[in-house]
Amino acid sequence: MDAIASAPIQSQSRYYIHVEAGIYEEIVEVWGNKTNIALIGDGENLTKITMNRRFPEFKTYKTATVFSQFMFFLTLSHLVILPFYLKALQSVSFCYRFMAKYITFENSAGEGSQAVALMSESDQSSFCRCSFLGYQDTLYAKSGKQFYKECDIYGTVDFVFGDAAAVFQSCNLYAWLPNRIITFTAQGKKIPNQVSGFVIQNSTLTAAPDLQSNKSQVHAFLGRPWFAWSTVIVMQSYLDSIIDPAGWYEWPGHRTDELTYIEYGNWGPGAGTGRRISWVGYKALNQSEEVIPFTVSKFITGDSWIPETGVPYTSSLY
């Protein structure tokens, strides 16, 4: 996208790009030196960016139709020995504060392999009223603090995945195919003290609109652990009948003894926790103070950066 290429380097203020109604078949790259980029479409049903890369022809992250990445600026300070590594980090510039509104991001490669619609490792990135269309690995929330508001996310296997600290608020997560084992999330927290995890709040987890009449054919799980400390909180959300009574799905060969999976204040035919898995890290909580650490204001310190975006949000619990 030429408009991104012409954007200022390391901008300290918002740089808005209007993406007019239409279908754009291209790969869009937002590199780390392009900070504060905001893509504003004319509506998620009007503005679409689409491409069809898939694994194994491309590495997973390279299948992304749109991706915002950090960039390393290598200097001599990177050559210092490990005890002085923190000093080296002063020479690293990270892509931050990417924002998108009213746009559809699609990977049209189809089912059967990893095919990412959007990958973000932009810290303090935000998305409002966007759609993400794909099957396996639709949305790669790779790293940084991220916020999604009133977005529609479609997929089948691990279709929200990554290592970010991300809150999905008032979103719709849609299982797209029948007769499949659907896994909504595959969160990848790698070390115990890392700020990483997915919070799904005041959202709906259900079958795609064209499958509503055949929901009995859809068999879904809230997530499975990509890495040992996988962290997912589903709270104050509607869980449809497609959710398996066990709730969460085991990934053969992946640990379940260190993860954190929490459910709080959910409703709907799939929200019952009486037959959930019995993993040590799974909890069905009833006290609001126990989930306050996973609210927007606490988990991603959203009060300090979301207001600037103009994206509406709820700071705490509903």
**Which of 137, 158, 163, 240 is the catalytic position?**
158
Q: Is the dihedral of CA 275, 205, 118, 311 positive or negative?
A: negative
Contacting residues for 120 by C-beta, under 8 A, at least 6 apart: 67, 68, 98, 140, 141, 142, 144, 146, 164
Identify any residues that bridge with 92 across adjacent strands, giving them in sequence order. 72
Cα separation of 115 and 137, whole Å? 6
Does 42 participate in catalysis according to the annotation? no
Cα separation of 170 and 107, whole Å? 23
Cα separation of 112 and 133, whole Å? 15
Half-sphere exposure of 303 (CA within 13 A, CB side): 7
What token pair was written down for 238?
């509607």
Active site residues: 158
